[in-house]
Amino acid sequence: YYSVSLQIGNPPKDFTFDVDTGSDLTWVQCDAPCSGCTVRTELQYKPKSNTVPCSDPICSALHWPKKPECQNPKDQCDYEVEYADQGSSIGALVVDQFSLKLLDGSSLVPRLAFGCGYDQHFPSAHPPPATVGVLGLGKGKISILTQLVSAGLTRNVLGHCLSSKGGGFLFFGDNVIPSTGVSWTTLVSPKYKYFFNNHYTTGPAELLYNGKPTGLSGLKLIFDSGSTYTYFNSKTYQAIVNLIGNDLKGKPLKDVKEDKTLAICWKGAKPLKSVLEVKNSFKTLTINFKNGRTNSQLQIPPESYLIVSKTGNVCLGILNGSEVGLHDSNVIGDISMQGTMVIYDNEKQQLGWVSADCDKLPK
């Protein structure tokens, strides 16, 4: 999980958010009798009669394309969000000031709308980290980025650099994007029946394994920093598992069913400390985007799809999305974006990536 700390309110108070390019609404656990809250009361956000009324245009932006359901225009603007992992949050929309740092060291304190969540449900299988909420960075009207753009404070561009050591950085605007070396592909607006099209979706793309075509093509991919692992639909997932399995024949890694860390794990001659010890037994996956006459390729080396479990086995961090309710979607998650600056450019409707040292803040 990658989280970011932001200051909200006056006096400013720190809140830690899960960084999520897969959803729009930012929300924080709310001190307003809270059920399903995972953090202590003093870490929760205390509303001070700053709820947004139903008549406010930002309430319509939250509910768009539907209309807010309100008895009275003065009523508070309620929200409900549900996530692909079956987690959810219910609460009221509030407005408060955020303290944001500019690259030159000065500060901005825009007033932004976000959710004060007083009823959270988390999936039992993978409970979320002890963050106070979710920073929604999708393309929707209620997203923090869209609000900053509407206020004329930034270009409609954001990016993140997730370090394989943990940590990294997140940015709004285009000032830190390198002038050379970035690969770009077009963002598409999918018309899924399951999702609004606020996701950062790319494609259609083809999958290569060890530089060779796999016959898998036409893949649409959602880039989602709120997802820890990478997910492919059943057909693609099974093909990847078979390719890796065939490759491991005769290698010193054996299937280990007892390790339930992830769906597939392998055991070495002795317990492993790092993926780097076995990366030579695995091959790079490449996602090849055809953009008109040019191709751009996103390389996913073994260290961007494998993890080492607590017991020292190596496990596959690519999962079957069809089994967790993602239907036919393919999701590129944090594991496959490590060591890479990923840029979401809504102005040019494109997504970019470039290898980067995510441990160093850009100048």
Q: Write out the catalytic residue numbers.
A: 20, 224
Q: φ and ψ at 143, to 5 degrees?
A: -60, 150
**What is the H or E stretch that residue 148 is in?**
helix 144-150
CA distance linking residue 78 with residue 185, whole number of Å? 37
Structure tokens at 286: 């490449």
For residue 29, what are the contacts with CB-CB under 8 A and spacing of at least 6?
37, 38, 39, 43, 44, 45, 117, 120, 132, 133
Calpha distance 2→162 (Å, rounded): 8
Alpha carbon distance 169, 163 (integer Å)? 8
DSSP-assigned beta bridge partners for residue 133:
17, 28
Residue 279 CB partners (closer than 8 Å, separation 6+): 301, 302, 303, 306
Residue among 332, 305, 337 at smallest CA distance from 318: 305
**What is the per-residue DSSP string for 2-45?**
-EEEEEETTTTEEEEEEEETT----EEEBSSS-BS--S-GGGSB
